[in-house]
A and B are shown apart, each in its own frame.
Chain A
Amino acid sequence: MIPKIIKVGGGDVAEVQIGGTLPLAFLGGPCAIETRAHALEMAERIGEVCVGLDIPWVYKSCYDKDCRSSENSFHGIGMDAGLDILAEVRSAYKIPVVSDFSDAAWAARTAETVDLLQIPAYLCRQTHVLKAAGETGKPLHVKKGQFMSPWNMKNSVRKIEATGNEQILLTDRGTFFGYNMLINDYRNFPIMLETGYPVCFDATHSVQMPTSMGNVSGGQREFIPHLVRAAAGAGINALFMEVHDNPNEALSDPNTQLDIRYLKNILAQAKAMHAARQELLEEWGEDRVHLDD
């Protein structure tokens, strides 16, 4: 199967191509849009790192956090206000932006602003959500549910394809391992690649410990670098990380967002690992260990 390449952005912002043997792309930003000033500052600072490392990237932040553990948690800045801020980030830095949506009725409005439309992991098999996303015609970033097997993501893909949309990025963000704990199964990358679509690794949500703290999710940020290096060597096309300048005070996912001071170090290694894998495959050929050998 010929690997598909998805194209995010273009026109008045940079075009980021993801897939095949293209260089590693990065999707990153604060989990939630907190304020206009914070969003712009984070876009500028992350952009400086990515430009310095020559890594194509997409700014990520969300206006609605519908999957919070508690009724009392920060739920987001709201769709209109959030999309206005994302539009300003997009315009100011000429970069594509990605945001998710949690209600099928929000898909079209969100797609008017964003370059890449994200389907949250918990909603990755919801037909109305997937159809609404597909019908926008925008490239889609679908996170594999923590409860989903990688092979069953094919059903989600087929639901989207039924709308005529074939611009899909599939992301692994960890798999439930008992209660309140995730584990990463790196077989998920080659299995999801069998759909033909590029795959992404969400490093910061992978270290999440869902609702482990009663009314909020915990996480072990210290494992982010290890998981990133392993994933970059395991055949991903893109890396996703939520990045914050003060994670402990973040309004959302304080226990898993990456402190921006570590971003350059981790992205540089991810890029090097990804490139090394490509070089090894060019030298030694693609993996050919098959069932019938």
Chain B
Amino acid sequence: MSTSTTRTIADILLPPEAIPVVPPRTLVKEALEKMSASKLGLACIVDDDGRLIGLFTDGDLRRLLLRSQKPLSALFADDIIDHARREFTSVRADTSIDDALNLLQEREIFDLPVLDEGGHLQGLIHLHPALRALLGE
């Protein structure tokens, strides 16, 4: 199964304003609210210059809840960066849709942040728009 070679992920990119982008000192509670509002299962944590410095996903939240012994009220008040993953898979905007889909499949993930050369967040590849693009071929 292959998509058109003329299309890149730029065509299916969710722009930053459509995804939960938060500064590192956002409370966990606030980040979760943003994630829910966007109907995406992750938050992208960026520094003052817009560089992506961490990701926090639904899976991270599940694992956090299973191991944390803090009261929920204390966990809500933590900074999101304290629970974010600092290492993550990302792609550039000129990546092909095929390559992006392959990455999603290999890593068994739903989302791929798209960064420029400086690590600035350009947007997000989410599995479902990518699938729609694929099925629309």
| Residue positions of A touching B, CB distance < 8 A | 149, 151-152, 154-155, 158, 191, 291-292
Q: Is B68 an interface residue (CB 8 A)?
A: yes
A149 and B73: CB pair below 8 A?
Answer: yes
Q: Is B77 an interface residue (CB 8 A)?
A: yes
CB-contacts of B51-100 with A (<8 A): 67-69, 73-74, 77-78
Taking a contact as CB atoms closer than 8 A, the residue among B67, B68, B74 that contacts A151 in the complex is B74
A152 and B68: CB pair below 8 A?
Answer: no
CB neighbours of A152 from chain B (8 A): 73, 77
CB neighbours of A155 from chain B (8 A): 77
Bound-state Cα–Cα, A151 to B73, Å: 8
Residue from the set B27, B77, B78 with the largest chain A CB neighbour count within 10 Å? B77
B74 and A149: CB pair below 8 A?
Answer: yes
Determine the main DSSP class of A at the interface with B.
loop
Given contacts A151-B73, A151-B74, A191-B74, 6 further A-B contacts (CB under 8 A): A149-B73, A149-B74, A152-B73, A154-B27, A155-B77, A291-B67
14 A-B contacts (beta carbon < 8 Å): A149-B73, A149-B74, A149-B77, A151-B73, A151-B74, A151-B77, A151-B78, A152-B73, A154-B77, A158-B25, A191-B74, A291-B67, A291-B68, A291-B69
Bound-state Cα–Cα, A152 to B77, Å: 6
Bound-state Cα–Cα, A191 to B71, Å: 13
Closest residue of chain A to B74 (Cβ to Cβ) is: A151
Closest residue of chain B to A153 (Cβ to Cβ) is: B77
Distance between A188 CB and nearest chain B CB, rounded to angstroms: 11
What 9 pairs across the A-B complex have the smallest Cβ distances?
A151-B77, A151-B74, A154-B77, A152-B77, A149-B73, A291-B67, A149-B74, A291-B68, A151-B73
CB neighbours of A151 from chain B (8 A): 73-74, 77-78
Distance between A196 CB and nearest chain B CB, rounded to angstroms: 10
Bound-state Cα–Cα, A191 to B75, Å: 12
CB neighbours of B73 from chain A (8 A): 149, 151-152
Bound-state Cα–Cα, A18 to B124, Å: 45
CB neighbours of A291 from chain B (8 A): 67-69
Bound-state Cα–Cα, A152 to B27, Å: 10
Bound-state Cα–Cα, A292 to B64, Å: 11
Distance between A164 CB and nearest chain B CB, rounded to angstroms: 15
Closest residue of chain A to B68 (Cβ to Cβ) is: A291
Distance between B124 CB and nearest chain A CB, rounded to angstroms: 27
Closest residue of chain B to A151 (Cβ to Cβ) is: B77
CB neighbours of A191 from chain B (8 A): 74
Distance between B28 CB and nearest chain A CB, rounded to angstroms: 11
Distance between B102 CB and nearest chain A CB, rounded to angstroms: 32
Bound-state Cα–Cα, A158 to B29, Å: 15
Distance between A292 CB and nearest chain B CB, rounded to angstroms: 8
